[in-house]
Homo-oligomer: A and B are copies of this chain.
Amino acid sequence: MFDEETLNQYIKSYQLKIEERIFQVSKIEEPVSLYEPYKYIMAEGGKRIRPLLVMIAADAVGSDALLAIDAAVAVEILHNFTLVHDDIMDKSTLRRGRQTVHTKWNESVAILLGDLMIGKAYELLPKNEYHKRADKIHHTFNRGLIEVCEGQGLDVEFDGNMNVTLADYLNMIEKKTSRLLETAVVIGANFGYGKDVDIKSLRQFANYLGIAFQIQDDLLDLTASTASFGKRTGQDLIDGKITFLIVKAMEKIKDDSDKILLNNFFFNHGINETEIENFKNLFEKYDIFMDAESEANKYFELAKLELNKLENNKGVEMLLLLTNKLNKRDK
Protein backbone atom coordinates (compact mmCIF):
# COMPACT_ATOMS: atom_id res chain seq x y z
CA MET A 1 0.00 0.00 0.00
CA PHE A 2 1.25 3.43 -0.98
CA ASP A 3 -0.11 6.59 0.60
CA GLU A 4 -1.89 9.06 -1.65
CA GLU A 5 0.87 11.62 -1.31
CA THR A 6 3.45 9.22 -2.75
CA LEU A 7 1.16 8.13 -5.58
CA ASN A 8 0.48 11.76 -6.44
CA GLN A 9 4.19 12.41 -6.58
CA TYR A 10 4.62 9.53 -9.01
CA ILE A 11 1.82 10.84 -11.19
CA LYS A 12 3.34 14.31 -11.16
CA SER A 13 6.76 12.96 -12.08
CA TYR A 14 5.27 11.00 -14.99
CA GLN A 15 3.42 14.10 -16.17
CA LEU A 16 6.71 16.00 -16.13
CA LYS A 17 8.38 13.27 -18.20
CA ILE A 18 5.51 13.41 -20.66
CA GLU A 19 5.78 17.20 -21.02
CA GLU A 20 9.53 16.93 -21.43
CA ARG A 21 9.27 14.30 -24.17
CA ILE A 22 6.47 16.16 -25.92
CA PHE A 23 8.62 19.27 -25.91
CA GLN A 24 11.48 17.28 -27.49
CA VAL A 25 9.38 15.76 -30.26
CA SER A 26 7.44 18.89 -31.22
CA LYS A 27 10.29 21.03 -32.45
CA ILE A 28 9.72 23.54 -35.23
CA GLU A 29 10.67 22.08 -38.61
CA GLU A 30 9.81 22.99 -42.21
CA PRO A 31 7.18 23.92 -43.24
CA VAL A 32 6.71 26.30 -40.32
CA SER A 33 3.05 26.73 -41.32
CA LEU A 34 2.50 23.14 -40.08
CA TYR A 35 5.02 22.84 -37.25
CA GLU A 36 3.97 26.01 -35.47
CA PRO A 37 0.41 24.74 -34.99
CA TYR A 38 1.89 21.32 -34.13
CA LYS A 39 3.85 22.86 -31.26
CA TYR A 40 0.78 24.91 -30.29
CA ILE A 41 -1.60 21.97 -30.04
CA MET A 42 0.88 19.76 -28.21
CA ALA A 43 2.03 22.43 -25.77
CA GLU A 44 -1.07 22.73 -23.61
CA GLY A 45 -2.59 19.40 -22.96
CA GLY A 46 -4.27 19.46 -19.60
CA LYS A 47 -3.89 16.37 -17.45
CA ARG A 48 -2.38 14.08 -20.10
CA ILE A 49 -4.65 11.24 -19.03
CA ARG A 50 -3.97 9.00 -22.02
CA PRO A 51 -0.16 8.97 -21.90
CA LEU A 52 -0.40 8.57 -18.11
CA LEU A 53 -2.55 5.50 -18.70
CA VAL A 54 0.09 4.05 -21.04
CA MET A 55 2.85 4.54 -18.51
CA ILE A 56 0.91 3.45 -15.44
CA ALA A 57 -0.40 0.36 -17.22
CA ALA A 58 3.23 -0.69 -17.69
CA ASP A 59 3.72 -0.29 -13.93
CA ALA A 60 0.48 -2.15 -13.26
CA VAL A 61 1.74 -5.29 -14.99
CA GLY A 62 4.95 -5.13 -12.97
CA SER A 63 7.19 -3.34 -15.47
CA ASP A 64 8.63 0.18 -15.55
CA ALA A 65 6.52 3.11 -16.74
CA LEU A 66 9.47 5.11 -18.00
CA LEU A 67 10.29 2.54 -20.68
CA ALA A 68 6.91 3.25 -22.28
CA ILE A 69 7.39 7.03 -22.54
CA ASP A 70 7.59 7.16 -26.36
CA ALA A 71 4.54 4.97 -26.83
CA ALA A 72 2.77 7.19 -24.27
CA VAL A 73 3.55 10.30 -26.29
CA ALA A 74 2.43 8.50 -29.46
CA VAL A 75 -0.99 7.94 -27.89
CA GLU A 76 -1.15 11.58 -26.76
CA ILE A 77 -0.34 12.77 -30.28
CA LEU A 78 -3.05 10.47 -31.65
CA HIS A 79 -5.52 11.93 -29.15
CA ASN A 80 -4.60 15.49 -30.09
CA PHE A 81 -4.97 14.68 -33.78
CA THR A 82 -8.56 13.64 -33.10
CA LEU A 83 -9.19 16.94 -31.31
CA VAL A 84 -7.83 18.99 -34.22
CA HIS A 85 -10.01 17.21 -36.78
CA ASP A 86 -13.10 16.91 -34.54
CA ASP A 87 -12.97 20.65 -33.86
CA ILE A 88 -13.23 21.31 -37.60
CA MET A 89 -16.24 19.02 -37.94
CA ASP A 90 -17.88 20.41 -34.82
CA LYS A 91 -17.01 23.99 -35.82
CA SER A 92 -15.63 24.55 -32.29
CA THR A 93 -13.76 27.78 -31.76
CA LEU A 94 -12.45 27.08 -28.26
CA ARG A 95 -10.61 24.10 -26.80
CA ARG A 96 -9.10 24.09 -23.32
CA GLY A 97 -9.77 27.82 -23.24
CA ARG A 98 -7.64 28.49 -26.31
CA GLN A 99 -8.52 29.05 -29.97
CA THR A 100 -8.83 25.83 -31.96
CA VAL A 101 -6.30 25.26 -34.76
CA HIS A 102 -8.70 25.89 -37.64
CA THR A 103 -9.79 29.12 -35.93
CA LYS A 104 -6.30 30.43 -35.14
CA TRP A 105 -4.95 29.35 -38.53
CA ASN A 106 -7.34 27.91 -41.10
CA GLU A 107 -9.04 24.69 -42.09
CA SER A 108 -6.39 23.50 -44.52
CA VAL A 109 -3.74 23.83 -41.84
CA ALA A 110 -5.92 21.95 -39.37
CA ILE A 111 -6.61 19.09 -41.79
CA LEU A 112 -2.96 18.72 -42.77
CA LEU A 113 -1.72 19.09 -39.21
CA GLY A 114 -3.94 16.23 -38.07
CA ASP A 115 -2.63 14.04 -40.89
CA LEU A 116 0.96 14.90 -40.08
CA MET A 117 0.38 14.09 -36.43
CA ILE A 118 -0.71 10.55 -37.27
CA GLY A 119 2.65 10.01 -38.97
CA LYS A 120 4.48 11.59 -36.04
CA ALA A 121 2.65 9.30 -33.63
CA TYR A 122 3.53 6.15 -35.56
CA GLU A 123 7.18 7.19 -35.59
CA LEU A 124 7.25 6.91 -31.80
CA LEU A 125 5.97 3.34 -31.64
CA PRO A 126 8.57 0.70 -30.79
CA LYS A 127 10.45 -1.15 -33.49
CA ASN A 128 10.49 -4.91 -33.33
CA GLU A 129 14.24 -4.74 -33.11
CA TYR A 130 13.88 -3.28 -29.61
CA HIS A 131 10.60 -4.72 -28.42
CA LYS A 132 9.29 -8.24 -28.87
CA ARG A 133 5.67 -7.09 -28.74
CA ALA A 134 6.04 -4.36 -31.36
CA ASP A 135 3.60 -6.15 -33.70
CA LYS A 136 0.94 -6.24 -30.99
CA ILE A 137 1.52 -2.63 -30.09
CA HIS A 138 1.24 -1.55 -33.71
CA HIS A 139 -1.91 -3.59 -34.17
CA THR A 140 -3.48 -2.04 -31.07
CA PHE A 141 -2.56 1.42 -32.31
CA ASN A 142 -3.99 0.79 -35.80
CA ARG A 143 -7.25 -0.46 -34.35
CA GLY A 144 -7.38 2.54 -32.02
CA LEU A 145 -7.02 4.94 -34.94
CA ILE A 146 -9.59 3.13 -37.07
CA GLU A 147 -12.21 2.79 -34.34
CA VAL A 148 -11.86 6.34 -33.09
CA CYS A 149 -12.67 7.43 -36.68
CA GLU A 150 -15.62 5.04 -36.80
CA GLY A 151 -16.84 6.46 -33.48
CA GLN A 152 -16.61 10.02 -34.73
CA GLY A 153 -18.38 8.86 -37.91
CA LEU A 154 -21.25 7.54 -35.81
CA ASP A 155 -21.32 10.82 -33.89
CA VAL A 156 -21.61 12.75 -37.15
CA GLU A 157 -24.36 10.34 -38.33
CA PHE A 158 -26.27 11.05 -35.12
CA ASP A 159 -26.62 14.72 -36.01
CA GLY A 160 -30.31 15.56 -36.11
CA ASN A 161 -31.32 11.91 -35.67
CA MET A 162 -34.20 11.57 -33.20
CA ASN A 163 -34.05 7.78 -33.14
CA VAL A 164 -30.70 7.39 -31.41
CA THR A 165 -31.19 5.06 -28.46
CA LEU A 166 -29.15 4.77 -25.29
CA ALA A 167 -27.60 1.61 -26.77
CA ASP A 168 -26.60 3.49 -29.94
CA TYR A 169 -25.15 6.25 -27.82
CA LEU A 170 -23.14 3.80 -25.71
CA ASN A 171 -21.82 2.07 -28.83
CA MET A 172 -20.73 5.43 -30.22
CA ILE A 173 -18.93 6.64 -27.09
CA GLU A 174 -17.26 3.25 -26.64
CA LYS A 175 -15.60 3.78 -29.99
CA LYS A 176 -15.13 7.53 -29.78
CA THR A 177 -13.93 7.81 -26.19
CA SER A 178 -13.28 4.42 -24.61
CA ARG A 179 -11.28 2.94 -27.47
CA LEU A 180 -8.43 5.40 -27.17
CA LEU A 181 -8.21 4.79 -23.41
CA GLU A 182 -8.20 1.06 -24.12
CA THR A 183 -5.49 1.59 -26.71
CA ALA A 184 -3.47 3.44 -24.06
CA VAL A 185 -3.60 0.76 -21.38
CA VAL A 186 -3.22 -2.17 -23.78
CA ILE A 187 -0.13 -0.56 -25.31
CA GLY A 188 1.31 0.20 -21.88
CA ALA A 189 0.59 -3.30 -20.60
CA ASN A 190 2.12 -4.90 -23.70
CA PHE A 191 5.10 -2.63 -23.36
CA GLY A 192 5.53 -4.09 -19.89
CA TYR A 193 5.07 -7.65 -21.24
CA GLY A 194 1.91 -8.10 -19.20
CA LYS A 195 -0.05 -11.37 -19.06
CA ASP A 196 -3.12 -11.75 -21.30
CA VAL A 197 -5.48 -11.98 -18.34
CA ASP A 198 -4.18 -8.70 -16.91
CA ILE A 199 -4.32 -6.95 -20.28
CA LYS A 200 -7.93 -8.06 -20.60
CA SER A 201 -8.81 -6.55 -17.22
CA LEU A 202 -6.97 -3.33 -18.02
CA ARG A 203 -8.79 -3.05 -21.34
CA GLN A 204 -12.16 -3.54 -19.65
CA PHE A 205 -11.17 -1.02 -16.97
CA ALA A 206 -10.38 1.56 -19.68
CA ASN A 207 -13.60 0.76 -21.51
CA TYR A 208 -15.70 1.54 -18.42
CA LEU A 209 -13.55 4.54 -17.57
CA GLY A 210 -14.15 5.99 -21.04
CA ILE A 211 -17.91 5.58 -20.82
CA ALA A 212 -17.96 7.15 -17.35
CA PHE A 213 -15.72 9.98 -18.53
CA GLN A 214 -17.88 10.76 -21.57
CA ILE A 215 -21.19 10.75 -19.70
CA GLN A 216 -19.59 13.03 -17.12
CA ASP A 217 -18.30 15.26 -19.93
CA ASP A 218 -21.80 15.50 -21.36
CA LEU A 219 -23.04 16.52 -17.91
CA LEU A 220 -20.25 19.06 -17.32
CA ASP A 221 -21.26 20.80 -20.55
CA LEU A 222 -24.10 22.31 -18.51
CA THR A 223 -22.86 22.13 -14.93
CA ALA A 224 -19.19 23.21 -15.13
CA SER A 225 -18.15 26.84 -15.06
CA THR A 226 -16.87 28.18 -18.40
CA ALA A 227 -13.53 29.28 -16.97
CA SER A 228 -12.52 25.88 -15.65
CA PHE A 229 -14.06 23.71 -18.39
CA GLY A 230 -12.35 25.68 -21.15
CA LYS A 231 -15.41 25.99 -23.34
CA ARG A 232 -18.76 27.75 -23.20
CA THR A 233 -21.54 26.39 -21.00
CA GLY A 234 -24.05 24.53 -23.15
CA GLN A 235 -21.75 24.30 -26.16
CA ASP A 236 -22.91 20.74 -26.90
CA LEU A 237 -26.53 21.92 -26.93
CA ILE A 238 -25.69 24.85 -29.18
CA ASP A 239 -23.83 22.47 -31.53
CA GLY A 240 -26.73 20.02 -31.59
CA LYS A 241 -24.61 17.17 -30.22
CA ILE A 242 -26.41 14.01 -29.18
CA THR A 243 -25.29 13.58 -25.58
CA PHE A 244 -26.35 11.35 -22.73
CA LEU A 245 -28.63 14.15 -21.54
CA ILE A 246 -30.43 14.35 -24.87
CA VAL A 247 -30.77 10.59 -25.32
CA LYS A 248 -32.07 10.23 -21.77
CA ALA A 249 -34.50 13.11 -22.25
CA MET A 250 -35.85 11.48 -25.42
CA GLU A 251 -36.35 8.29 -23.45
CA LYS A 252 -38.08 9.90 -20.48
CA ILE A 253 -40.06 12.83 -21.74
CA LYS A 254 -43.55 11.99 -22.95
CA ASP A 255 -45.27 15.30 -22.14
CA ASP A 256 -46.02 17.09 -25.39
CA SER A 257 -45.23 20.62 -24.27
CA ASP A 258 -41.84 19.54 -22.94
CA LYS A 259 -41.16 17.53 -26.06
CA ILE A 260 -41.42 20.62 -28.24
CA LEU A 261 -38.11 21.89 -26.88
CA LEU A 262 -36.42 18.62 -27.77
CA ASN A 263 -38.01 18.47 -31.20
CA ASN A 264 -36.71 21.94 -31.97
CA PHE A 265 -33.25 20.88 -30.84
CA PHE A 266 -33.26 18.08 -33.43
CA PHE A 267 -34.99 20.05 -36.13
CA ASN A 268 -32.57 22.98 -35.88
CA HIS A 269 -29.48 20.82 -35.20
CA GLY A 270 -28.92 22.69 -31.96
CA ILE A 271 -30.25 25.65 -30.02
CA ASN A 272 -29.58 29.34 -29.43
CA GLU A 273 -27.60 30.43 -26.39
CA THR A 274 -30.75 32.04 -24.97
CA GLU A 275 -32.46 28.68 -24.72
CA ILE A 276 -29.81 27.03 -22.54
CA GLU A 277 -31.67 27.92 -19.32
CA ASN A 278 -34.83 26.26 -20.63
CA PHE A 279 -32.94 23.08 -21.30
CA LYS A 280 -31.30 23.19 -17.89
CA ASN A 281 -34.76 23.47 -16.33
CA LEU A 282 -36.05 20.65 -18.47
CA PHE A 283 -33.22 18.32 -17.47
CA GLU A 284 -33.71 19.30 -13.80
CA LYS A 285 -37.44 18.64 -14.00
CA TYR A 286 -36.89 15.10 -15.25
CA ASP A 287 -33.91 14.35 -12.95
CA ILE A 288 -31.67 13.89 -15.96
CA PHE A 289 -28.64 15.47 -14.34
CA MET A 290 -29.03 12.94 -11.55
CA ASP A 291 -29.40 10.15 -14.07
CA ALA A 292 -26.19 11.21 -15.78
CA GLU A 293 -24.33 11.42 -12.51
CA SER A 294 -25.47 8.03 -11.32
CA GLU A 295 -24.79 6.45 -14.74
CA ALA A 296 -21.27 7.92 -14.75
CA ASN A 297 -20.75 6.72 -11.17
CA LYS A 298 -21.90 3.25 -12.11
CA TYR A 299 -19.23 3.01 -14.80
CA PHE A 300 -16.56 4.50 -12.53
CA GLU A 301 -17.40 1.73 -10.04
CA LEU A 302 -17.29 -0.93 -12.74
CA ALA A 303 -13.89 0.39 -13.80
CA LYS A 304 -12.57 0.08 -10.27
CA LEU A 305 -13.90 -3.48 -9.99
CA GLU A 306 -11.74 -4.42 -12.97
CA LEU A 307 -8.68 -3.05 -11.19
CA ASN A 308 -9.42 -5.36 -8.28
CA LYS A 309 -8.75 -8.30 -10.57
CA LEU A 310 -5.10 -7.27 -10.90
CA GLU A 311 -2.45 -8.06 -8.33
CA ASN A 312 -2.07 -4.93 -6.28
CA ASN A 313 1.00 -2.78 -6.85
CA LYS A 314 2.03 0.84 -7.28
CA GLY A 315 0.62 0.99 -10.82
CA VAL A 316 -2.76 -0.45 -9.88
CA GLU A 317 -3.03 1.97 -6.98
CA MET A 318 -2.20 4.87 -9.26
CA LEU A 319 -4.94 3.79 -11.68
CA LEU A 320 -7.36 3.64 -8.78
CA LEU A 321 -6.33 7.11 -7.63
CA LEU A 322 -6.66 8.49 -11.17
CA THR A 323 -10.13 6.97 -11.48
CA ASN A 324 -11.22 8.56 -8.21
CA LYS A 325 -9.80 11.91 -9.28
CA LEU A 326 -11.67 11.74 -12.59
CA ASN A 327 -14.84 10.71 -10.77
CA LYS A 328 -14.63 13.83 -8.64
CA ARG A 329 -13.61 16.26 -11.40
CA ASP A 330 -15.82 19.29 -11.91
CA LYS A 331 -14.19 20.55 -15.09
Contacts and interface: CB of A to CB of B under 8 A. Distances in A.
Interface of A: 29-31, 33-34, 81, 85, 88-89, 107-109, 111-112, 114-116, 118-120, 122-123, 127-129, 134-135, 138-139, 141-143, 145-146, 149-150, 152-154, 156-157
Contact of A112 (B123, B128, B152): B152
B115 A149 contact: yes
Nearest to A123: B142
Contacts of A120: 146
Contacts of A116: 145-146, 149-150, 153
A149 B119 CA distance: 9
Contacts of A85: 111-112, 115
Copies in the complex: 2
Shortest 9 CB-CB contacts between residues of A and residues of B: A128-B128, A119-B146, A119-B145, A116-B149, A34-B153, A89-B108, A31-B153, A127-B135, A122-B142
A41 to B, nearest CB: 14
A139 B265 CA distance: 47
Contacts of A149: 34, 112, 115-116, 119
26 contacts: A31-B150, A31-B153, A34-B150, A34-B153, A81-B115, A85-B112, A85-B115, A88-B108, A89-B107, A108-B156, A109-B153, A112-B149, A115-B149, A116-B145, A116-B146, A116-B149, A116-B150, A116-B153, A118-B145, A119-B143, A119-B145, A127-B138, A127-B139, A128-B128, A128-B135, A129-B135
